[in-house]
Structure 1
Amino acid sequence: MSGGSSASAQSAKMRKDESFLGKLGGTLARKKKSKESDLHEEGKNAINAPMLPTGTDIHPEDTLMEENAERIMLDPTSRETLKFKDLLKQVLIDWINSELEEERIIVKDLEEDCYDGQVLQKLFEKLSGKKLNVAEVTQSEIGQKQKLHTVLEAVNELLRPHGWTVEWSVDAIHSKNLVAIVYLLVALVMHFQAPIRLPEHVSVQVVVVKKREGILQTALVTKELTSTTRMMMGRFRDAFDTLLDHAPDKLNVVKTSLITFVNKHLNKLNLEVTDLETQFADGVYLVLLMGLLEDYFVPLYNFFLTPESFEQKVHNVAFAFELMQDGGLKKPKARPEVVNLNLKSTLRVLYNLFTNYKDSE
C-alpha cells in the first residue's frame, strides 16, 4: 500500500515538473520569438533609414503618415550653425519686430510665433499695404489653418508671377516647420527689398521622411536658404539698373546733376561732395542734407557725426530715412546697401530727394 502511494506521488510530481517545464519552455520560446521579431524590426529600420543622422528624433506622430506622404525635419546640427542662428535671430526676428513695432508684436521664436498665421498676416499687410479678410484672433486649429491659407494665398499670388518657387505650405508652417517658415520670410525680404542685409550662403540639412508601401524612407537633403547678395537682389531691376548696364555713358550726366543738387545745399555748411558712392556711405551727409532741405537743425546727439563701425553708419542712414519719411517721402529700402558703397542704391536715394526738392532754395 505504501509502495503504490509512493509511485503515485512520484508520477504526480513528474507530471507537475513536465507541466512547469512546458510552461517555462513556452515562455522562453515566446521571449525568443519576441526577440527575433525585435531584431527583424530593428534590421528593417536600419535598411529603411540608412541616412538618418544621429541625434535626429523621429517622433511617434511622424510615423503616423498617410501613404506617399512626406515630412521634412531640420537636422539638429544645422540648427546650431552660426550662420543659421544669425539669419534667424539677428536678421529675420529683428526685421519682423521692427516692421510690427506699431502693432506691439514681439517675436522671440519663429516656430512658436509664426505657425498660427497671426504674425504672418500682420507682416504681409504691413509690407503690401493690403488688408486681408481674416479673423483677428483664432485659437482653433481649423481657424488657424484657414487664416494661414488666406495669408499664403495672398503671398503666392504676389510672388509666383516673379518666378518664385513656393517652398512652404499651410501644413508645413502650421506644423512649425522652421525651414518652410524661413523660406517664406526670406522671399518676403527679397521681394519687398527690406532694408536689411541677409547673410550669404546659408544652407541647412533636412531629413526628408517619406512613406512608401507602408515603410518609412529617409534621406538627408541640403537646402539653400540664401545665396549671394548680388543674386538675391538681382531679381529687382529699375531705371538705374538699365542705366548702368546699357547706357553707362549717360551715368556721368546723372551723377553730375545729383552732385550739383546736393552741393547747392551742403555748401551752406561749407561741405562739398565729389564722390556720391563714398561720401554718403556713413549717413552723415544724408542727415545734414535732410535738415537743409526741410530747413531745420538736426541735433548732433541724434546721429554719429564721426561714425566708425558699420552699425553706427547703418544707424545714421536709418535716421536719415526716418527724416525723409517725416518729410512725406516714401521710406527707402536700401539702408545696408548705401553703407556698403552700392552706387545704384545711393543714386536711388539721392534721385528721390532730387525729384522732391529740386526747386528748393
Structure 2
Amino acid sequence: MSAAPGRAKKDESFLGRLGGTLVRKKKAREVSDLQEEGKNAIIASLQPSSAELLPEDMLLEENAERTMLDPTSRDNPKFKELQRVLIDWINNELEEERIIVKDLEEDLYDGQVLQKLFEKLSGRKLNVAEVTQSEIGQKQKLQTVLEAVNEMLRPQGWSVEWGVDSIHSKSLVAIVYLLVALAMHFQAPIRLPEHVSVQVVVVRKREGMLQTSHVSKELTTTTEMMIGRFERDAFDTLLDHAPDKLNVVKTSLITFVNKHLNKLNLEVTELESQFADGVYLVLLMGLLEDYFVPLYNFYLTPESFEQKVHNVAFAFELMQDGGIKKPKARPEDVVNLNLKSTLRVLYNLFTNYKNSE
C-alpha cells in the first residue's frame, strides 16, 4: 500500500531535518522490512507452519493429501475447552484402570488408551496385545480398535473422520472427532461445548508440488442435536407426543418415592423441583439401600449451585455403589430443573427398587 502524497512529503521533510539522506535510507529500509514481514505473515497464514509440516508431507504420492490443524485453531478457547471435557471424561471412565490422560495427542495415538476406553464403554473385550512398543504393533492395535468402533458407529450414520494413519500420526482433529463420536454414542454424562469448529490445513500433491488450502471442520453442534442423535427414548416420546401419559408416569414415580420418603416424614409433590438440590436423592438412596447417610457427606440445606451439584453427584455415587449403572444425566441438568434428566434418574431407581419395602 503506498502512502498518500501529502503524507509522504511531510515525512520526507521531517526525516530530512533529522539527518537527511542516511535517515531517509534507514526509514525506507524499515518500511521495506515491515512490508516484507507483512507479506510473509500473509503467506504463512495460507500454508502449514514449519512446526506442523511433517516429513511425510514432503513424501506424499501424486494426488495424495494430508491434513493438519491450523496453528490458530489450536489456541481457540472453545476447542481447548472441548479437549478438557474429553480428557476429564476419559480419566473418569478409566479411573479403575489407573490411567491418567493429560494430552490427547501424546496419550491416545498408540491405541492403548483407546482400547481401554472402548472396552469400558462397550463392555466388549478386544483381542489385542496389552502392550505394544513397535510402530507396527501400535498400528495393528489401532486397526483392531478402529474396526470395532467403525462397525458400531457406521450403522448410526457417522461419517468416519479418523483412521489408523491419522490417529497414529497424532492428528488432534481426528482424535477429537473420534472421542466426540464415542461420547455421543455412549451418551456420556458430560456437556460438550457447542459449535466448536477448527480450521484444518489440507496439503495436496499436484504435479510434484505441494498445494495447501484451509477447510473448516465442525466438531460439535448444539447440545440438543448432539443429545437427540442417540438419546431419544421413551421420555422424549412422552414429552413430544403424549403429555397426558407423561403425567401418569410422573404420578407413578411420585407414589414410588413417597412410599420411602414418608418413613422420614417427607413428601414429594413436584419431581423436577424437589429433587433439584440433591437432598431427597441422597436420603432416598439411603432408604432404598437401608443405611444411614452421614450428614457430613452432603449439604442438608444447600445454598449454592455448586453445593446442589455436589449433592446430586454424591447421590449418583451411592447409586453406583448399589450396583446401579451410572445415570446418563449430568448432575448439573438435575439441578437446572431439566425434567427429562430427573425422570431418567428416578425411573432408573424405580426399575431397580420397585419391589423394595
The TM-score with structure 1 as length reference comes to 0.82
In the alignment, the residues of structure 1 paired with residue 124 and residue 134 of structure 2 have an alpha-carbon distance, to the nearest angstrom, of 25
Of 175-184 and 193-202, the range deviating more from structure 2 = 193-202
In the alignment, the residues of structure 1 paired with residue 77 and residue 303 of structure 2 have an alpha-carbon distance, to the nearest angstrom, of 25
Q: What amino acid does structure 1 have at the position aligned with 2:352?
A: N
Give 2:66's match in structure 1, choosing from 71, 75, 92. Answer: 71
Instruction: Please name the residue that 2:143 is paired with.
Output: 149
How far apart are 1:229 and its partner, in Å? 0.8
How far apart are 1:61 and its partner, in Å? 3.6
How far apart are 1:68 and its partner, in Å? 1.9
In the alignment, the residues of structure 2 paired with residue 83 and residue 109 of structure 1 have an alpha-carbon distance, to the nearest angstrom, of 16
Q: What amino acid does structure 1 have at the position aligned with 2:313?
A: A
How far apart are 1:306 and its partner, in Å? 3.4
Instruction: Please name the residue that 2:155 is paired with.
Output: 161
In the alignment, the residues of structure 2 paired with residue 176 and residue 122 of structure 1 have an alpha-carbon distance, to the nearest angstrom, of 18
**2:353 equivalent to 1:357:** yes
Q: What amino acid does structure 2 have at the position aligned with 1:178?
A: L
Q: What amino acid does structure 2 have at the position aligned with 1:277?
A: E
Instruction: Please name the residue that 1:121 is paired with.
Output: 115
**2:297 equivalent to 1:318:** no
Q: What is the SS of the residue equivalent to 2:212?
A: strand
Give 1:339's match in structure 2, choosing from 305, 328, 335. Answer: 335
What do the CA deviations read for 1:201-242 (whole angstroms, capped 9, x no partner)?
111111111112212111111111111110001112221122
Q: What amino acid does structure 2 have at the position aligned with 1:357?
A: Y
List aligned pairs for 1:292-311, cutoff 5 A: 292-311=287-306
List aligned pairs for 1:238-249, cutoff 5 A: 238-249=233-244
Gaps of 5+ in 2: 1-39
List aligned pairs for 1:48-127, cutoff 5 A: 51-52=46-47, 57-89=52-84, 91-127=85-121
How far apart are 1:264 and its partner, in Å? 2.1
Q: What amino acid does structure 2 have at the position aligned with 1:229?
A: T
The answer as to whether partners of 2:48 and 2:212 remain within 8 angstroms in 1 is no
Give 2:250's match in structure 1, choosing from 241, 248, 255. Answer: 255
Q: What amino acid does structure 1 have at the position aligned with 2:71?
A: P
The answer as to whether partners of 2:285 and 2:315 remain within 8 angstroms in 1 is yes
Q: Superposition RMSD on alpha carbons, in Å?
A: 2.2
Q: What amino acid does structure 2 have at the position aligned with 1:72?
A: T
Q: What is the SS of the residue equivalent to 1:234?
A: helix
Q: What is the SS of the residue equivalent to 2:202?
A: strand
Of 229-238 and 274-283, the range deviating more from structure 2 = 274-283
Instruction: Please name the residue that 1:216 is paired with.
Output: 210
In the alignment, the residues of structure 2 paired with residue 198 and residue 320 of structure 1 have an alpha-carbon distance, to the nearest angstrom, of 23
Instruction: Please name the residue that 1:186 is paired with.
Output: 180
Label 1:359 to 1:60 Cα distance change in 2 as closer, same or farther (>3 A). Answer: closer
Instruction: Please name the residue that 1:202 is paired with.
Output: 196
Of 174-183 and 312-321, the range deviating more from structure 2 = 312-321
Label 1:283 to 1:55 Cα distance change in 2 as closer, same or farther (>3 A). Answer: farther
What do the CA deviations read for 1:96-121 (whole angstroms, capped 9, x no partner)?
11111111111111100000000000
List aligned pairs for 1:36-55, cutoff 5 A: 51-52=46-47
In the alignment, the residues of structure 2 paired with residue 142 and residue 53 of structure 1 have an alpha-carbon distance, to the nearest angstrom, of 28
Q: What amino acid does structure 1 have at the position aligned with 2:127?
A: N
In the alignment, the residues of structure 1 paired with residue 131 and residue 86 of structure 2 have an alpha-carbon distance, to the nearest angstrom, of 23
Of 75-84 and 179-188, the range deviating more from structure 2 = 75-84
Instruction: Please name the residue that 2:27 is paired with.
Output: none
What do the CA deviations read for 1:116-141 (whole angstroms, capped 9, x no partner)?
00000000000000000000001111
In the alignment, the residues of structure 2 paired with residue 168 and residue 128 of structure 1 have an alpha-carbon distance, to the nearest angstrom, of 19
How far apart are 1:303 and its partner, in Å? 2.1
The TM-score with structure 2 as length reference comes to 0.83
